[in-house]
Structure 1
């Protein structure tokens, strides 16, 4: 399904625009999750795109103010993503950063965000906008941990915002996957559940309704808390399994999705008359253009990295499934455009924006792996001996069982444990070590396959009507400076940049994936 809404910027009628730069100038922001992937990129663009933005108060977890300042310098000021900003300011870079960034010692898991009364009184007088991007993004995190951060966390940040007398807007970063296991096209609407045990939240007439047990958020919070207090052995594993079980009972693939959906619902119920924006990105990947192509933090896509190392020549999934991924810089730009638009109009409503490609610029898993194959074939990674690694086209399998069988054989052959090898006879101890290492590798890949399986067959699509209207409201200059038109993405070029960044991460990896 492809809807062509491409816009010719040159032929668009001139307009005053949303007022992004004008709104950001001089405003003070309170930002959670600033040490994370999205948070860093957001802070970077605000400081680079609007140098005379007001102060950015960054909630940073630490035992005291000194610890928070230390993390600010090591994890933000010295981070790679800020190298363009550093080149702009030269020797005055650190002084500029310190003048703009204010570390606030606290934690979204604590009441009043763990901020002492004096600091609260001081900063509450200055804050114009709150951006909540803090999240536990592990799909199968402990249920109690995910609820504390993804569900109760946004509610705590919002309650803190009610103490800020100048507050113009509360912006919450969620995920497009709050829609769960249904299929079809999902609207940009506030997420809610009714008491008829039927999901009737953001679906269009083309989407599938599913019957699920009624979700009582308070009961889920209590369940997670009681379970965590009562379990003494294997608590991490049991609490992870509990989260996955509760999510599947209520119509989500993962603990992450369910707890983010509950967070949205709490924000909607508690916001009162505060103008509120929810940004729902799909899978966020490396930057497309800003501040430089291919920047990514962490190890985001182990499938592609392992594929480039020729460790994963097959995977579970439908090659024609549409994969929805967006570059980080477009998520950041959409966020800034939305907060300016609704910060200016001051309408006490909740507005939702999808930053997604599945409707506007769809591409399949087959496309992704074809791009990756082309890239790693022309620019192969090197093995530990400096030899170029050759790969073959990705093979898609229909079940985890068939994947497990095939990957066992692949790992055995690569490690020298295939039938006919003489390792056992020549060195039994080495043979045992190799067996254990390869078993660990197989388990790792099977775990990844089980985690991704739902998305490799996923049939959901994300409507972007609100996001497109936001772009239309922008001036030509704003569209150039704050581009988030996903139709402008040239998919082959984007995925080559992504493959390049994943390849760099993979080639420096020292985990147990090779044996």
Structure 2
């Protein structure tokens, strides 16, 4: 009988149906085994039930040919009569049907370097939970376990199919893996470790406030724990003779099934590197990037100058549809309960692909079909010299050291678009080096282990198919040519998504999302550096020096220059310290006189320093019906010219003494860092606003808490720390340029303003263009009517 007849009437449970292999397997079961009943285990996720996820699964491109052949009615009938969806996962197995005939276990942790406890929980713990559920159901199915050829571990030469030779105890290793999490967590909570996390967080985020520092310190601690567990898993695997935690845990899962399956028939299928389909569901079909695709794409982009592999080493790749065909054939060939069957699905023994040949095929393809770079045009194919692992490692370390030193240097550079561009370039280099480091570390063991997997049993299984099945379900790796597969099928498929004109803006220039929302939406703006190209020191100069004599200005500027280093240090520690330090210089000032100076001089400078893009954005929010808020550390009186643009202005208020003059102190603590987020949360509750749909615009790291408090944060002309957080978080980053010919920082004196006004009137009387007529307050008033709703 053929495979469809041998599997007719069988009830087959498939785990991992939403994964790469599981999806391809499910497509073949539905398409080519019409009399086989399929039971799928699918975990509810993100508010979607398992049934909803399954419906979405069979609507994907892999099932298009089947859907077209059977029609909508046939799809509904098949899902109703032939498919049972069980909601659950390998941590919490549901009750299984008692009449299961075959269990095909495709699910598992596929990352090469998971934290050791995660790797064991998924790859071994999942098998244990599955076997428990099978026992509880009373069924006696044929177990088909999908493992990997690389369970063979670190060795050289030919590797035959069969039971692995080792004496490693899965019980001892699983218990140690479970303890590793507790050990790492305890180590991360020692005083020295916590102090280190806090100091690192403070060095980077102290200006954003204590809550941000605490959040960052905890993030670093958790990252340290995960990295420690990844290292433990990798090192433990290598000590015991495996390439990584993935192959280590897969090998122990095999040993568990061999020893604990209670006499159930067992087949272990070990595919090598699974890549895109040769023919089914269609040529080139692939879900996500697997093992070889990142290297192929990086080579095409000119980002992979060499690779630490031996040119005559074998890279064992097998198309996914050949793997699926072999799984179906193995499922139909139930072995004796006492003797497990082992099949290695590979190409290296009978159709070997050398690293040198892979390189040549990939290079030839990109020479004919180069990728197009935004800045470089067609990317030239790189010549690999196969310089060896030591040389590649040395180059990589030099690059990593350079990016580390350059990153530190940029941290001290003044804010500018040029510095941000340098940071973008450095970030791209760092990402490239991180990519190379990751794949250097992951592939090192695989390229050093010069293995040839022997597939004698798999070949015999293929030869045992009847001629019709050999055509439909064949899995002979010698049936295709590598140049044809790579250049005509695989590489075109994996590069299709990055072909064509690059119309996407880079993250640093990404357009802000549409201004959605309604009356419950806030649009919160910072002032200095965001709306206006100014600082608290500059705004102090506008007010303090407006009516002073030349000599008095000189003395004030000299005193300010002496205090400036202290201000810089205060700014690096806490923006609130800077505001308090600068505003002590207002001691003795007359509040009414400050208001007059704003109307006559400082307000004029402020309005001419406002960025046109900022005004447009504020007005867009007002037109959208949003509530606009100005949240600033500037003195309250200085915000008067901007009052028509905002529904709410929160600024720094200067304390006034009994004599009616400023004391140099503040009415309340300045709203900076965490305080801004706290105020915003309280304000939103008071006015009934929804922060999850609200907007925030700011330029400084100290504004991080405010930006994180809203659903739509936008970094505007950001300083380097905020720029890096925005890039990492995927926030829009916008450049709002200043107006050309901005006025100087020191306001004109009263005599200069009077002379300017007289000259303007004279030009008007003579019929000239009336330039700059009116006082600063007149000019301030001219923006008000247009700013109203």
Among candidates 221, 226, 251, match of residue 179 of structure 2? 226
Counterpart in the other structure of 1:202 = none
Aligned to 2:241: 251
Match of 2:49 among 21, 43, 67: 67
Q: Distance in 1 between matches of 2:365 and 2:427?
A: 32
* 3-state SS of paired residue (1:228): helix
Determine the structure 2 residue equivalent to 1:138: 111
Q: Give the corresponding residue for 1:440.
A: 431
Aligned equivalents of 1:324, 1:258: Cα separation in 2: 19
- Alpha-carbon distance in structure 1 between the residues aligned to 2:28 and 2:229: 37
Matched, 1:429 2:420: yes
CA distance in 2, matches of 1:405, 1:433: 22
8 Å contact kept, 1:161–1:170: no
SS at match of 1:402: helix
Report the equivalent of 2:169.
216
- SS of the equivalent of 1:314 reads coil
For the pair shown, the structure with the greater C-alpha radius of gyration is 2
Residue in structure 1 matching 2:60, options 79, 85, 91 = 79
Structure 1 CA distance, aligned partners of 2:309 and 2:169? Answer: 33
**RCO comparison, higher one (Cα < 8 Å, 6+):** 1
Query: How far apart are residue 281 of structure 1 and its match?
Result: 0.4
In the alignment, structure 1 segments of 5+ residues that lack a partner are 1-15, 195-214, 418-422
SS in 1 for 2:124: helix
Which residue number corresponds to residue 457 of structure 2? 466
Moved more, 179-188 or 381-390: 381-390
Tell me if structure 2 keeps the 8 A contact 1:305–1:505. no
CA contact (8 A) 2:399 2:433 kept: no
1:222-279 deviation per Cα after TM superposition (whole angstroms, max 9, x unaligned): 1111221343332211111110011011011100000000000000001122111000
Contact 1:141 1:255 in 2 (8 A): yes
CA distance in 2, matches of 1:156, 1:361: 38
Q: Could you tell me which of 338, 363, 380 is aligned with 2:330? A: 338
Tell me the residue number matched to 1:389.
379
Kindly indicate whether residue 77 of structure 2 is the aligned counterpart of residue 104 of structure 1: no
**Distance of aligned partners of 1:231 and 1:162 in 2 relative to their CA distance in 1, 3 Å threshold:** same
Report the equivalent of 1:310: 302
SS in 2 for 1:427: helix
Q: Is the 8 A contact 2:307 2:389 kept in 1?
A: no
TM superposition shift of 1:403: 5.0
Question: Does the CA-based 8 Å contact 2:303-2:432 persist in structure 1?
Answer: no
The CA deviation string for residues 156-194 of structure 1, in whole angstroms up to 9 with x for no partner, is: 222322344453411000001111001121121122424
Report the Cα distance in structure 2 between the residues aligned to 1:24 and 1:404, rounded to whole angstroms: 55
For residues 173-226 of structure 1, give each alpha carbon's deviation from its aligned partner in whole angstroms, at most 9, with x where no partner exists: 0001111001121121122424xxxxxxxxxxxxxxxxxxxx222121111112
For the structure 1 residues 402 and 223, does the alpha-carbon distance in structure 2 shift closer, same or farther, using more than 3 Å as the test?
same
Q: Which moved more, 1:431-440 or 1:250-259?
A: 431-440
Taking structure 1 as the reference length, what is the TM-score of the superposition? 0.82
Are the equivalent residues in 2 in contact too, given 1:77–1:94 (CA < 8 A)? no
CA contact (8 A) 2:4 2:35 kept: no
- Structure 1 residue 387, shift from structure 2 partner: 4.2
- Quote the residue 2:624 is aligned against: none
1:340-419 equivalences under 5 Å are 340-342=332-334, 347-384=337-374, 387-399=377-389, 401-402=391-392, 405=395
Say yes or no: does 1:280 pair with 2:248: no
Separation (CA, whole Å) in 2 of partners of 1:365 and 1:97: 44
Secondary structure of the residue that 1:322 maps to in structure 2? coil
- List runs of 5+ in structure 2 lacking aligned partners: 186-220, 408-412, 508-726, 728-789
Which structure's residues are more often helix, by fraction? Answer: 2
Offset at residue 390 of structure 1 (A): 2.8
Root mean square deviation, CA, Å: 3.0
What secondary structure, in the 3-state scheme, does the structure 1 residue paired with 2:100 have? Answer: coil
Could you tell me how far 1:87 is from its partner in structure 2?
2.0
With over 3 angstroms needed to count, the CA separation of the structure-2 counterparts of 1:226 and 1:369, relative to structure 1, is same
Deviations 1:76-128 (A, max 9, x none): 11222112212212333541452233221112134xx2x1xxxx2xx422321
> In structure 2, the residue corresponding to 1:59 is in which secondary structure?
strand
- Contact 1:33-1:132 within 8 A present in 2 as well: yes
Question: Which TM-score applies when normalising by structure 2?
Answer: 0.54
Alignment CA distance shift 1:408-1:433 (3 Å): farther
Contact 2:396 2:437 in 1 (8 A): no
Cα-to-partner distance string for 1:302-361 (whole Å, 9 max, x where unaligned)? 11111122221322111110111100000000110111121xx66542100000111111
Change (3 A) 1:299 1:501: same
2:285 is equivalent to residue 295 of structure 1: yes
Contact 1:404–1:446 under 8 Å retained in 2:
no
Which deviates more from structure 2 when the two are superposed, residues 34-43 or residues 235-244?
Answer: 235-244
* 1:152 equivalent among 125, 130, 136: 125
